Amino acid sequence: MSVEINNESGIEVEVGRVQRLAAFVLESLYVHPDTEVGVMFVDETSIERLHVQWMDEPGPTDVLSFPMDELRPGRVDAQTPAGLLGDIVICPQVAEVQAEAAGHDLQQEISVLLTHGMLHVLGYDHGTPEEEAEMFGLQRDLLLSFAMRERSR
């Protein structure tokens, strides 16, 4: 897995953890090991600009996802083809506020946002109650499995 990380936010991010989580999500969803994904951390001004440009919504947001090759999760017997998964843009400043409200630390919130963004670039959505239940259930399961793996490291 190629996970390209660029931090332009001015806030320290645990890059190693981000890389491990991204690889874990791709591996768990049977995405080809030669697949590439980009993760960018930006400030509130930059994410607000992207939010307006691509979603036509005002104000900063926490995470935006930009799928490229429209890859979908594979199966244990059939991985996805290799390709460019896309880009995930996260705003640590917004994540910090959300982390405080949720009662956990910034790095944990970044993990939630990264997993959420990766599921979006893999075709998951939460536009209907059924889609929301599927996506958020999978997101929870991935984060719990990753946390267990991290504890055993």
pLDDT tens-digit readout, 24-68: 999 999 999 999 999 999 999 999 999 999 999 999 999 999 999
pLDDT confidence of residue 46: 97
Query: Model confidence at 1, in pLDDT bands (50, 70, 90)?
Result: confident
Tell me which residue has tokens 């390209």. Answer: 4
- Sign of the CA dihedral with 2 first, then 153, 63, and 119 last: positive
pLDDT (tens digit per residue) in 8-23: 999 999 999 999 999 9
pLDDT confidence of residue 153: 79
pTM above 0.85, yes or no: yes
CA distances from 31 to 27, 66, 74, 80, 104 (A): 6, 17, 6, 5, 30
The CA-based diameter of the chain, rounded to the nearest angstrom, is 44
Q: Which structure tokens are listed for 76?
A: 């244990």
Cβ pair 64, 89 in contact under 8 A? yes
What is the rounded (10 degree) CA torsion for 11, 46, 91, 141? -140
Query: Model confidence at 108, in pLDDT bands (50, 70, 90)?
Result: very high
State mean pLDDT over 145-150. 95
Cβ pair 21, 35 in contact under 8 A? no
What is the rounded CA–CA span in Å between residue 39 and residue 90?
Answer: 8
What is the rounded CA–CA span in Å between residue 83 and residue 44?
Answer: 30
